[in-house]
Structure formats: structure tokens, C-alpha cells
Amino acid sequence: MHPAYADAQFNRNFFLHTVDLVARELPVFMKEIGATGVAVRGKSGMSIAFATLVLIDFPLIVSRDPNVQCHGDPVEYPDGFKGPKYIFLDDFISSGETLESVEFQLRRHHNFELVGIMEYSKDYSSDKRTHPHTDLKIPTMQLGAGSEYRRDRIKKGMAPIPKISVNGYSTNLGST
């Protein structure tokens, strides 16, 4: 049993669908806003980010909750990572507390700059804009089943979204 918002971790088809969608849109969004890495915190962001790394290559920054005891460093990223500009990747942002904690931790201790947010909840119906749940006025891309961005892409005849097959499961992102 899990809450509906956790489908990205516990529903295999939705998990693969989400990874596929993030793998397709993340490089485009990173290039558009000049991001050089992707930051995550928590099981949802980490599960999607690590699986996406299997399909595409990007510098991943793992920001651990400073209030939780763990065996790793509070912030970890690849050796040689130079770029200070990152996108925060998560399923959704409610109050903005986690995002603001990550932003503070990465800015204060590593001089990294938050330049974008990508959310992938299946319930989203809008895309690129500034985020309403935080005072940070930065570009946001929301990807979900109701996403206008995905529907517009298909209507405009943009590159068809090809299928990716993982262990016999094929995605079918071309349909809405």
C-alpha cells in the first residue's frame, strides 16, 4: 500500500513511463536554461534520477536531509563536477520546504545555483513557468499525464517520441 503520489516508485509501468519522459525532456530543459547538473533529495527524486542515468548521462547531485543521520556525506556529486548551475528534480513541490532546504545547502556549502525545477507528478496539467509554492522565481517544467507540453509536442508534429524497451516493457508516450 502506498499513497497515490508515490506511483513513481511503486507502480512499475508508471515508473518506467516517468523515467522515459524525464530522460527525453531533461536534456532539452537543461540546455534551454544552462543547467550543468541535477539535484535530488528523497526516495522519489533519487529513484527516478538513478534510473534516468541508465538512459542518459548527466551530473547528479544528491542532497541528503541534514536532519537525518546517514553514512554518506550531506552532499555528493561526481568527481570533477565543475558546473554550479542545477535543476531540482522531484515528483512535486507542496510547501517548498524541501526545495528551499536543498537550495540553501547547495548554495551555502558548495556555491551551486538553482536555475530550474522539473516535477513529474502524473497529475500535472501545465508546464514551464515559475513555481507557485516558493519565493524562488525560476523556470519550472512540470511533466505529467495532463501536460499541455506533451500534447502540443505531438500536435505540432515534433519528433515522434520513440519507444524505449526495458526488460520487455515498451513505453508508449506518444498517446495522451
Give the domain range for residue 55.
4-158
Residue 55 belongs to a domain: yes
Residue 22 belongs to a domain: yes
The x, y and z cell numbers of residue 87, run together, are: 535543476
Query: 119 versus 78: which is more confidently predicted?
Result: 78
- Complete edge-to-edge strand list for the sheet that includes strand 139-142: 75-76, 60-63, 37-40, 85-90, 113-119, 139-142, 129-130
Residue 8 belongs to a domain: yes
Whats the size of the chain, residue-wise?
176
Q: pTM of this prediction?
A: 0.75
Q: How many CA atoms lie within 13 A of 112 on its CB side?
A: 30
**pLDDT exceeds cutoff 70 at 69:** yes
CB 87 within 8 A of CB 119: no
Query: 174 versus 31: which is more confidently predicted?
Result: 31
- Rounded average pLDDT over 83-112: 86
Q: How far is residue 33's CA from residue 20's CA, in Å, rounded to a whole number? A: 21
Most confident stretch, 24-28, 92-96, 171-175: 24-28
Query: In this predicted structure, what is the pLDDT of residue 113?
Result: 93
- Residue 63 belongs to a domain with what CATH number? 3.40.50.2020
% of the chain exceeding 90 in pLDDT: 24
Residue 149 belongs to a domain: yes
Query: 106 versus 138: which is more confidently predicted?
Result: 106
Residue 74 belongs to a domain: yes
Residue 166 belongs to a domain: no
Whole-number average pLDDT of the chain: 75
Paired strand residues for 166: 169
Residue 31 makes CB contacts below 8 A (sequence gap 6+) with none
- Rounded average pLDDT over 81-97: 83
Confidence category of residue 88, pLDDT binned at 50, 70, 90: very high
Lowest mean pLDDT among 41-50, 59-68, 135-144: 135-144
Residue 163 belongs to a domain: no
Query: What's the total number of domains in the chain?
Result: 1
Residue 171 belongs to a domain: no
